[in-house]
C-alpha cells in the first residue's frame, strides 16, 4: 500500500479495492464481511489487524457510504448490538492480544452473537452486590449462579460474565470479569416472559460451568473496573441516535391524530401538543449532544437523554392508547414469542405502552440515573454508603 489509508480519499480507494476483489453480487455475505474486516474497513478507528486502521472514527461514514452505494451487505448491527456496542470496546480496552484476535472478527461479522450476563435477581440497581460465584479449580473457574434480563442468550455463542471470586472483601473488590462459552453444558437458558406477552429476555442458570482462566478479561478482582467500560458504552449506545422531527414515539400518534379527526378531543389536544413540544425539544437536545461529540466537546448532557426518552415514551404511548378510544381496549397479540429484534415503536399502541414501561428500568433505572446526575454533574453529596467497607459475605441478603 502506497496511499495513506487514514484520510478520506485513502479510505475510499481501499473500499473500492475491497469491492473490486469481492464483488457483493457474487460474494457470500460472511465471506464479504470477513474480507471487509481484514481490510481494516469494519470499524476504521480500531487498530490495524483488528478490523480497523487507526483512523479517526468520523471517517467510518466515508466507508459506509461507498459500501451502501455498491449494495454491499452489512453486518446487521441491530442483531448484534450488544457485541458491537458493549463487548467489543471492553475487549479492545481490557483484553489480551489473543482474546482480541480470537473474538473481535466473528463478533463483528455476526458469526458469533454475544450476550451480557450481569444482572441477577438479587442484584439490579446494586449490580456490584451480585452473588454468582466463580471458584478457582486449577486453570479453570467453576461458576454457579443465576443471571436475568439477558437479551439474545438463546442466540448467543458467547457471553460477558461478571462473578464473585472473593466474598471476603467489600463488594466492588471481589468481582472478576469472564468471557463465557454459552455452549458449556452447565449453561441453561430459559425465556423470561414479560408484560407484553413476548420474551425478549432470558433467565440464565449457571451450574458448574467451567471457564478456562485464559477466558478471564482483566485481573482477578478487577472485574468491576472492566464492567464499568461495558456499562459506560451501554449508556452511550442508548442515547446516540439521530432522529428527524416526529422520528420517535410521537410519530405514530401524530399520524393517527391527522388521519382520524373523529378521535380528537380538547383534552387530548392539549396533552398531545405538550408532548409534541417535549419530544421535539428532546430531539434537539440529542442533536446538540451529537454536535458536541462531533466537535470534540462531549458534555454531561448525555446522562439526561435516557431519562427524557423513557418518560416521553411512556407518556406518549399512554396518550395514544386513550386517543384510540374503543380500539384502545384491544391488544394485537398476547402469544408468547421470542423476537430477535426489539422495536420500541413497532407493533400497536398497547404494545408500545407496555414495552415503554421498561425504558425507565433497563440500562439503569431513572431513579439511579437521577442520583448520578445529582452527584456527578451537580456535585451534590453522595448517598450514604453503608456497604462500602464491609466484606460482601457479611452484607444483609
Partner 1 sequence: MTDLLYSEEEEALRAAVRDLLTDHCGPAGVIARMESDEPHDLALWKSLAEGMGLAGLLVPEERGGQGATHREAAVVLEELGRAVAPVPYLTSAVVATEALLACAGEEAAGLLADLASGRRIGALAVGLHTAPGGAFRAVRVEGGRLHGETAGIADAAVADVLLVPAEDGGLYAVGADAVTVTPRVSLDLTRPVATIVLEGAPGRRLGDAEPAVRRALRAGAGLLASEQLGLAERSLTETVNYLKERRQFNRPVGGFQALKHRLAQLWLQTVNLRAAARSAADALARGEDADVAVAVAQAYAAPVAVHAAEEALQLHGGIGMTWEHPAHLRLKRAKADSLAYGTAGAHREELAALVDLQAP
**Binding footprint of partner 1 on the chain (CB under 8 A):** 254, 257-258, 261, 264-266, 269-270, 272-274, 276-278, 280-282, 284-285, 287-288, 291-292, 295, 297, 301, 304, 307-308, 367, 370-371, 373-375, 377-383
Which residue, 19, 21, 127, is CA-closest to 73? Answer: 19
- Cα–Cα distance, 81 to 143 (Å, whole number): 26
Measured from the CB atom, is 367 or 394 closer to partner 1? 367
Q: Cβ of residue 64: shortest distance to partner 1, in angstroms?
A: 19
Cβ atoms of residues 155 and 148 within 8 Å: no
What's the grid cell of residue 104?
473481535
Cβ atoms of residues 213 and 165 within 8 Å: no
What's the grid cell of residue 59?
471517517
What is the SS3 string spanning 84-99?
A: HHHHHHHHHHHCCHHH
> Could you give the 3-state DSSP secondary structure of residue 343?
coil
Cβ atoms of residues 86 and 233 within 8 Å: yes
- Selected catalytic residue, list 234, 287, 367, 375: 234
Cα 158 from chain centre: 15
Q: Cβ of residue 268: shortest distance to partner 1, in angstroms?
A: 8
> Could you give the 3-state DSSP secondary structure of residue 187?
strand
* Residue 268: partners with Cβ closer than 8 Å, 6 or more residues away: 319, 322, 323
Q: Cβ of residue 159: shortest distance to partner 1, in angstroms?
A: 33
Q: Cβ of residue 235: shortest distance to partner 1, in angstroms?
A: 15
Measured from the CB atom, is 373 or 395 closer to partner 1? 373
* Residue 283: partners with Cβ closer than 8 Å, 6 or more residues away: 243, 245, 247, 248
Instruction: Determine whether 234 is an active site residue.
Output: yes
Q: Cβ of residue 304: shortest distance to partner 1, in angstroms?
A: 4
What's the grid cell of residue 89?
470496546
What's the grid cell of residue 143?
461458576
DSSP string, 293-342: HHTT---TTHHHHHHHHHHHHHHHHHHHHHHTGGGGG--S-------SS-
Measured from the CB atom, is 73 or 363 closer to partner 1? 363
Q: Cβ of residue 176: shortest distance to partner 1, in angstroms?
A: 32
Measured from the CB atom, is 330 or 380 closer to partner 1? 380
Measured from the CB atom, is 1 or 378 closer to partner 1? 378
Measured from the CB atom, is 62 or 254 closer to partner 1? 254
Catalytic residue ranges: 234
Amino acid at each position: 500500500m502506497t496511499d495513506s489509508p487514514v484520510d478520506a480519499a485513502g479510505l475510499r480507494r481501499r473500499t473500492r479495492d475491497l469491492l473490486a476483489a469481492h464483488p457483493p453480487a457474487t460474494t457470500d455475505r460472511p465471506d464479504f464481511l470477513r474480507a471487509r474486516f481484514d481490510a481494516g474497513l469494519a470499524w476504521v478507528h480500531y487498530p490495524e489487524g483488528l478490523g480497523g486502521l487507526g483512523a479517526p472514527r468520523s471517517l467510518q461514514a466515508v466507508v459506509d457510504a461507498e459500501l451502501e452505494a455498491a449494495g454491499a451487505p452489512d453486518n446487521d448491527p441491530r442483531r448484534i448490538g450488544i457485541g458491537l456496542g458493549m463487548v467489543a470496546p471492553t475487549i479492545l480496552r481490557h483484553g489480551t492480544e489473543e482474546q482480541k484476535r480470537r473474538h473481535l472478527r466473528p463478533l463483528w461479522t455476526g458469526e458469533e452473537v454475544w450476550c451480557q450476563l450481569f444482572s441477577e435477581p438479587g442484584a439490579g440497581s446494586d449490580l456490584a452486590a451480585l452473588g454468582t460465584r466463580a471458584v478457582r479449580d486449577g486453570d479453570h473457574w467453576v461458576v454457579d449462579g443465576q443471571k436475568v434480563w439477558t437479551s439474545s442468550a438463546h442466540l448467543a455463542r458467547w457471553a460477558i460474565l461478571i462473578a464473585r471470586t472473593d466474598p471476603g472483601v467489600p463488594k466492588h473488590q471481589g468481582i472478576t470479569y469472564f468471557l463465557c462459552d454459552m455452549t458449556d453444558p452447565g449453561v441453561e437458558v430459559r425465556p423470561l416472559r414479560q408484560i407484553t406477552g413476548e420474551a425478549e429476555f432470558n433467565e440464565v442458570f449457571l451450574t458448574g460451568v467451567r471457564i478456562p482462566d485464559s477466558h478471564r478479561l482483566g485481573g482477578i478482582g478487577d472485574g468491576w473496573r472492566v464492567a464499568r467500560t461495558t456499562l459506560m458504552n451501554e449508556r452511550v449506545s442508548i442515547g446516540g441516535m439521530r432522529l428527524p422531527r416526529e422520528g420517535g414515539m410521537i410519530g405514530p400518534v401524530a399520524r393517527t391524530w391527522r388521519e382520524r379527526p373523529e378521535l380528537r378531543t380538547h383534552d387530548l389536544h392539549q396533552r398531545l401538543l405538550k408532548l409534541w413540544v417535549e419530544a421535539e425539544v428532546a430531539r434537539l437536545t440529542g442533536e446538540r449532544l451529537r454536535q458536541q461529540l462531533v466537535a470534540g466537546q462531549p458534555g454531561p448532557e448525555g446522562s439526561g437523554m435516557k431519562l427524557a426518552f423513557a418518560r416521553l415514551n411512556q407518556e406518549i404511548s399512554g396518550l395514544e392508547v386513550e386517543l384510540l378510544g374503543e380500539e384502545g381496549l384491544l391488544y394485537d397479540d398476547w402469544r408468547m414469542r421470542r423476537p430477535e429484534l426489539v422495536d420500541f415503536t413497532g407493533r400497536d399502541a398497547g404494545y408500545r405502552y407496555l414495552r415503554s414501561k421498561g425504558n425507565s428500568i433497563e440500562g439503569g433505572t431513572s431513579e439511579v440515573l437521577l442520583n448520578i446526575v445529582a452527584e456527578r454533574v451537580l456535585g451534590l453529596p453522595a448517598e450514604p454508603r453503608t456497604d462500602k467497607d464491609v466484606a460482601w459475605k457479611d452484607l444483609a441478603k
